[in-house]
Structure 1
Amino acid sequence: MLQQLLRLSNDGRRVYMTVVPKAEEDAPRIEKKHIVDWLKENSVASFFRFDETIDSVLDKMNASNEEWKGEPDDVVVAERRDATVSARFDDQKMTAFLRVSGACGGNPIKGNDLLTSLKKEQIVRGVKKQTLQKLLTASSRLKPGEFLEVPIAAGKWPTPGEDSKLAYLVQDSKARVLRPQQREDGTVDMRDLGKMVTVQEGQPLAKRIPSTKGIEGFRVTGEILATTPGKNIPLKLYPGSNYSPNDENVIVSDTTGMPILHPDGVEVDNALCMKSVTVATGHVDFEGSVVINGDVNSGMKVQATGSITVGGVVESAILEAGGDIVIHNGILGRQVQSDQEITTVIKAKGSVVAKFAQYTKIEAKEDITISQHAMHCTTITEGNLIICDQMKRTGTLTGGKHVALGGVQVVTLGAASGVHTYIHAFTGLGELMQGTLNLSKELDHEHEQLMKVKDAEMKLLQQPAHKRPDELIERLSWTKTHHFERIAEIKALMDSSASELNTLYRRYSIEVFKNSFPGAHCQIGDTSIDLTNEYGACKMVTNGKEIKLEPL
């Protein structure tokens, strides 16, 4: 029966099916698989089938004659289709795609078909020729009804130019403490820190690496995306430095002295150089920087308006500097009882760097960095307290009291003996919280004032129109607008403050890179925790309510 109902069009591109009622009521049902078998037998199984049409036709033909409606008709149930290709790009026109649908008994795509599709969508840049070839090859293997979509072209975002950078041509004396010298056999001599860092007149100090122009980008449609050139950050001439006569991007030393590195230049301090500070030399009080190649003996005092650099050991002495204090070996203070005042004092308006410290009071406006150990010390810094070397392998903080406006980093906190060690990090939290509290109070005040203005407006509206002064109406309107604007400003400030606070909670933490022992009292802002167990590497972070220990 199907041989009478199904036929191929004269051009061989379509399969028609005649829709007629059953010849007899008890005639067998025509199933879809019968049509599929017919297509196979007639070598057109690869044609595209209209499955929904076939299902609808079969329901109609298999129905009883009483339910038949309409006249006999011919419908297309399958047709030959050539492979198709279409192009599209994403919303930003930075990536283009080609979609190839497999042929259904028809012709495969050709290379020109791919190019024509790209040209139609104006995809002209960033086309991957190798991918085009691979797609053409893969499309021939697609089965009827299958499709393949691949990214065929990619745009490029513009690369902004880099700002100029400052490359230092001399060493940082502070970093020298953290880099002991290597022996010929590969071992490290912790006592040998190399020569003191000094420069000679005319010696290059730093070089500015010029900014770059940047690289333009493009979309796959050919649109050019402009870039932004980098900025040339000006060099600053600090005392003791000048521009090189041969290159305006190079700074050279004007004198012999000790280099002090700044973000935008280098200062050369014409320092007072001494072999050591002893009873024979007396106390030192100098306008400028002081470089001491050897030790500072017990009971001596060194004061300088600049920085102080000590090549040896500071023993039970007092050092005060208007800049940094760098001690290449360490600080040995006298052992004191818990109720006694520490007499060894290191005070700097810059940073303090040392290898070790014992029974010492250290105060700094910037970071305090001790590479080996700090035992029974008192440290106060408006920066960060860092008790570790550059590799984070050594650095023990044992005993004493330590206060930092920022965060604290140590390799080992406390000791197995349970010695009491007190740490207070992020002391600046109180000031930030007070600022937030002040904003909250101001917000309440603005709301109160706004309610008063609204009450005044209501009373004014209750008056007859001729008794409402225009100037009063205008003043109330202006005042209300002012309060609304101020409330919006305060809310924005509070949101910004809350976001900043969450960031600072993560930044100003207590990090322990190896072990922490019982006996340590750790406080971050207004929250605290007493360690009663031993922990491995961890990070202590506050959320403003409690301190949590996170593994590192």
Structure 2
Amino acid sequence: MEQATPQPLSFAFDRASGELSATFTPTPGFPPLTLASLKQAMADNGLTKLFHQDSVLNAFVRKLDETKQPQTQVIAHRRDGEFALEVSDDLMTASLTLVAPFGGRAKSVDVVNAIRAQGITYGILHEQLRGALSTGFCNKLVIAQGLMPTPAEPARFESLLEEKQEELSEIDEDAVVSYADMGYLLLVSAGDPLMRRIPPVPGKDGIDIKGGKVPARPIADIQFAKESIGAEPSADDPDLLVAMVPGQPTVIKNGVKINPIIDVENVDLSTGNLTFEGTVRVKGDVMTGMKLHVGGDVIVSGTVEAAEIVAGGNVVVKGGVIGHSEGVTATAGTTAIASRISAKGSVQVMFAESAHIEAADNILVLGNARQCELLAGNEITVGKGNPRTGQIIGGRIEATNVIRANTIGASTGNFTRVQVGLDPYLEEKIAIKEQEYSRKVAELDRTIKQQGYYKLNPDKATPEILFETSDKRKALAYEVKVLLEEVAQMKDGMVAAEDARIIVAKAVYEGVELRIGHEVWPVHSNLTGGTAQLFEGDIRYNPKK
């Protein structure tokens, strides 16, 4: 295209090559060419859409200043648009860089064709793409975005012990609460829930920009910690950790560990009264007014004051039992007692004073027993290994088979009752058996009445019902007969009385009452060591030889 101008500056555009040439002929009366006037001339002729650079235009102007001769030079050229489509290695994004055309052709169609050629079908951001193609330029613009996989949520473990602790701390403001019942120890029983496992949530697969699946990263399915000693997943709910043994729980990573033996410094207001199914070890003392009820053993390294201990196993008190009897009034023939120990097994104490101690098996008092009630299902021994101890002074001592002591009674004449040959729990056993007998008699009576009703109303019962009712009556009648015989035998009261013995190493003092079976022998004068037992139905005391 020829550009005619009366000015010394002219332009020529070659359509084939797309180049724009400028020619300047210095002419008298016209100012020299400057960069500004050159650009203004290009604008006036609509040539600024062609690609040009100031450095090239400046070079043309300087050349004219140097030579003062007519000059022709290519100062601009046509340029088509350009683009670059980048796809990430993970096929999750596609980015477009678009260079605008300078008097040339835009690449919009080429961009769309390139997207199709790359196989990009998912997550195309159409609005962003249209905007970029409309403006003609962009730089690394994300025009397609895949769907990232949803991460999996790992298993979570929530302790349930905080809820139990909160339950323990909840107190009715209107209730009358003993301070001894407000302890801080968190204990659990077998079957108590300890921890809840929230199963993992699997991740969701993603989709790349080519429509392919992007697998979610797998996650390990973590179970309860193997270190959860004393606890296992519930048989009904594998995601619920429950206690298998009673004890004191400790939360560990992904689990709970249970110590089946509770260790405390003292049993006092800081611990509160303890009720526990396992074993309790007390490093110090059991203080006055406290209660300790356990299903296992109790081991006290210190002393037991005016407190109560009930154990399903054995009881060991290394420091002795001191039952303060202040304010406790004794009735005639009894002892004022403030300390109480009861064990399904045996009891061993260093010494005992004003204490009620009962054991289904044996009782061992290493030192002395003063003003105590001792009841044992088997044997009682007072004093062991030290000849200066082993004194039974005052109180009531009962064992089924044998009682051993160094001395019984005191020179001051304290009334002391010692009995063997009878089960000290006989009355309780008889009461339980009589209750069972009464229930069976009542059931037998109902069955007899029912049988009589069927005889008067034969249409009310089938042959099968009549047969079952008859069998039930026979069975109940037999059970009642057996129970009656057992009660009668128990009321006879003799439990191996002929073999029962009271063995004394040193002396029995006046004021002591010896009992064997149903026989009673008041001691009216001091005796040396010996053995008391039944001989032809009477109590006979055989001095040591």
State the TM-score, normalized to the length of structure 1: 0.37
State the TM-score, normalized to the length of structure 2: 0.38
Greater gyration radius: 2
